[in-house]
Every structure is written in structure tokens, then in C-alpha cells.
Amino acid sequence: MLECGMLEQDRRALRRRSATLCKELVVDALLIQSLQADDILTESMAESIMAEQTSQKRSWRLLLLLPKRGPRAFSSFLSALRETEQQHLCDLLTQSPEKDGTPVERIRPEEEPEGIAGRQVMQTTEKKRERFSDSPLPLPTQEGIAAKRARTHESMEYRLDADSPINSPVLPCTPDFYLSHCQQSYRMNSSPRGFALVISNVTFDPCAAPDLDPRKGGEVDDEVLRKVFTELDYLVTVHRDLTAQGMRTCIETFCRRPDHRTVDSCVVCLLSHGVEGAIYGTDGQLLQLDWVFESFDNAHCPLLQNKPKMFFIQACRGEEMDCGVEQIDGPARTCSPGCEQRDAGREGQGDANSRHRGDTGRPRIKLPQRSDMICGFASLKGTAAMRNTKRGSWYIQELNTTLRLHARDMHLADIMVQVNGKIKEREGYAPGTAHHRCKEMSEFTSSLCKDLYLFPKYQPQY
């Protein structure tokens, strides 16, 4: 149990700087997780904060909660500020009021400014960090750059600091939403919804693949995917560190599961180093993605005909890094960036409703060979994907977050557009430069014939 209330001097410091904090504080997933690790915030409190739609509203809600969370709350908040590279706010709160004579700042909910995008909730397996709770001020972090985080270039993938996910349950679909959308959507009633396969290559053979570095943080991604798809009612199987042939065998076995007949969909997640059109096994050999898609087409996997097949590829598609250009026209942010649609998920797409007469004269449905697929890629063609060495990749983080928050009321194509937008909003320094922003984008391809809603945690009553 927390002791009741914050110390009066700490409460005054928060009150004195409340307006500045609401304007400048970045309440992201890492800051919230830090406060959770210190038992300052409960899981429900964290969810209520991160459910707010703007950064200012999240800051305001956090500042209302902190004074009620015990005498350790202030020092824990300072520690969280340091860890999230908001040292200037930490200094502001610890500055003596006699030095600057600043009057008390007051805020009201109706005065909260709008229009600054905040960061989203995501799931993590990062362990609770140890703290020096008896120290009046936390120790400084190793990184000394405030408000920005440095990038370093590595072979095949970039490893960056980024937001850390926190535990937030998948939000359930309501009966009203299901009833109003089920007619134009893929059937998604089975329990489980389907089977999910996750192949995650983290450690590569130093003899067979000396140029492929370990994908530090990749183990976080596969755990994040396992948890989110389990909560979405999929039976998830995770395989780690497979050769190219091992991946091929694993996928062939998965395709042939007879129980695909009883479920309504399937999910395949591939996480590794990669090039355009292929991913690496741990032996340095490539597995062609076109072969993967072919394995699930209507000819090779008939038990999944007319059922949605979802693919998520976390891998580079080249070595280039998109450092962006200066925007000279258009809105400040593009909410629905366009996506290229030239990949395997579109190939062979045809009219699923076309009918041809057979020898018996009876109408027979003729399916295109490849349909009902959607594939999300972590990066555009020819570019590198972004991965944090401790908290996993940008793409998987944002996918996890968006599925948890919006699978209940958004079809998967719109979810992928939102993931793309969130990745695009992430900022940092490009290698070897001091001022360039780097804007990354994911993309997806689709041959879906209907809306794909996952209808989480909803079972129709018959």
C-alpha cells in the first residue's frame, strides 16, 4: 500500500510548474512503464492515461494522479523524466522557487491545447528496472541528449531508441458493432479465430552468416506478437532461430494443419534480416517471400480458401535509409499515406465471384489462385527497417498498440494505414548528420475481398 499523499514541498513543485508540464511533458509508454515499475501507477491508471487522445490530456491526467500516489511519487517521476530524456523538466521541478520567483501555474482541462500528437500504448516484456529509491534524485542515464535520441547504423537493420510498450488489454468488440458490420465482413466467429505462426530469427550462425549481426530486441518482438494474438483468440506457435530450410519446413507443416478447416483465418509473422522479396535464415540463406505467399494460396492451402490470411514481415527490404525531404506544400501531417500495392499479395488477384460452367452444366465457383491475403511490411521497398535493441522494432510496437486499441472497431486495412502514420511520425537523427529528420514508412499489400474485422472477445450467441 502507498502511504497517503505526496510530500507538501513536492506537491507545490508540481503545482508551480503544472502549465509548463502540460505543454512540454511527453507522456509516452516508457515514462508510464517506469512509473508502473516503481508501483506508482497501477495498470488501470496507466490505461486511463494512455487512452487520452492528445499529449496534453495525458499530461494533465498524470499530474492529477501523482500527488495522490504517496511520498515516493515525486522522486520516481523525476527518475522517469531522466530515463525518457526530459532532463530539462527534471531540472525545472528541482529548481528552488526562490531563484526564479516563478508564480504558481494553474491549468484547467478546458485550456488544454490541441493538435500535438502523442505516442501510443504498446506491449512489452522488458523487465522491471531496479531503482535507488532512497536517493533524493535519481542517477543520470547514459544518454545525454535531451528530447532526441541518437541513431547508429548496423548491418541490415537500424537499431534505435524508441518508445517502450506497456501492458494494455485488447479492447473488446461490442455486440452492436458486430451486428452492424458482420454482413459485409469476413466470417470471424470461430474460437479460436485461427492459428498464428511466428518465426523470429534473432541469432545467426557466425560461420555461415558472418555479415548478419544478432537482432538484439528481436526476442521482444516475438513475445509481443505472441501475447497480442493470443488475446485476439489465436493459437500462437513461436519458432526461434531457424535456417532457411527450417523456415520452409515449418511453414509447410503449418499450411497442412487439418484443423485450418475449423477456423476462420490465419496469421503468419516473419521476423529476420532481409532483402527485397526475401528473408534470411540463420544460416545466411534466403527464403523467398513469394514462395511463402504461394504456400497459402487457394491451390496449395485449400482449407483456407475464402478465409483471410494475414502476413506481417519485420525485415529490411534494402540498405537505404529514408531521411525525408522538407515539406513545402500540403497539411502538416498526412493521416492516410498512400501505399504501394505491387507485392505478392496482389499477384493473381481476380474476380472471386466469377463463375464458369463445368461439364455437368452446373455453375462452379472459380477462385483466383491468390486471394484473401493482406501483408504488412515494416519498411518500403529498398529501405531498412527500424529496431530498438531493448524494446523491439518500431513496426511491431505500433502494430501491437493499434491492434490492442482499435481491433474492436477498425478493419485491418485501416489499422495498417494507422500503423504507417505512427511510424511516419517518429523522429530522430540520421546517421552522420546533425539536423535531418528521418521519416520511416511501412506499407501493406492486399487482395482482400471484404472488410476484415477481428471482432476481439466477441462470440455471437446462437
CA-to-CA distance for 137 and 172, rounded, in angstroms?
41
Residue corresponding to grid cell 535493441 = 389
pLDDT for residue 84: 84
What phi and psi values does residue 295 have, to the nearest 5 degrees? -65, -25
Residue 16 CA to chain centroid, in angstroms?
36
All cell numbers assigned to 313? 514481415
Measured in degrees and rounded to the nearest 5, phi and psi for residue 338 equal -70, 155
* pLDDT tens, per residue, the chain with 462 residues: 445 678 888 888 888 888 888 888 888 888 888 898 888 998 888 888 887 767 778 888 899 899 988 899 999 999 999 888 888 888 889 887 654 454 444 433 333 322 222 333 233 333 333 333 333 333 322 222 233 333 333 333 444 433 445 557 899 999 999 999 999 999 999 999 999 999 999 999 999 999 898 998 889 999 999 999 999 999 999 999 999 999 999 999 999 999 999 999 999 999 999 999 999 999 999 999 999 999 999 999 999 999 999 999 999 887 655 444 444 444 443 333 222 222 222 223 333 343 344 444 444 455 567 789 999 998 888 777 777 777 788 899 999 999 999 999 999 999 999 998 888 776 543 333 333 334 467 888 999 999 999 999 888 765
**Residues 323, 436: contact at Cβ < 8 Å?**
yes
Among 82, 83, 172, 78, which residue's Cα sits nearest to residue 126? 83
Distance CA 121, CA 123 (A): 7
* Closest to 199 (Cα-Cα) out of 217, 227, 213, 218: 218
CA distance 87 to 144: 9
Per the listing, cell 504498446 goes with: 122
| Torsions phi, psi for 262 (to 5 deg) | -95, 0
**The three grid cell numbers given for residue 39, joined into one nine-digit string:** 508501483
Q: Is 353 exposed, middle or buried (0-12, 13-18, 19+ CB in 10 A)?
A: exposed
Name the active-site residue from 316, 339, 375, 438.
Answer: 316
Q: What confidence score (pLDDT) does residue 360 get?
A: 42
Confidence at residue 255, expressed as pLDDT on a 0 to 100 scale: 96
Q: Measured on CA atoms in the order 117, 122, 125, 128, is the torsion positive or negative?
A: positive
- Identify the pLDDT of residue 19: 85
316 given a catalytic annotation: yes
Alpha-carbon span 408 to 405, nearest angstrom: 7
| Residue 389 vs residues 59, 223, 317, 334, 441: alpha-carbon distances, Å | 27, 14, 19, 29, 19
Q: How far apart are CA 38 and CA 82, in angstroms?
A: 14
How much is the pLDDT for 365?
52
Beta-bridge partners for 376? 312, 444
pLDDT digits (tens, 9 = 90+) for 270-286: 999 999 999 999 999 99
Q: Please identify which of the residues 173, 266, 273, 411 carries the catalytic annotation.
A: 273
* 406 classed as catalytic: no
Residue 80: closest CA among 40, 31, 119: 31
The Cα 248–Cα 314 span in angstroms is: 17
Locus of grid cell 516508457: 30
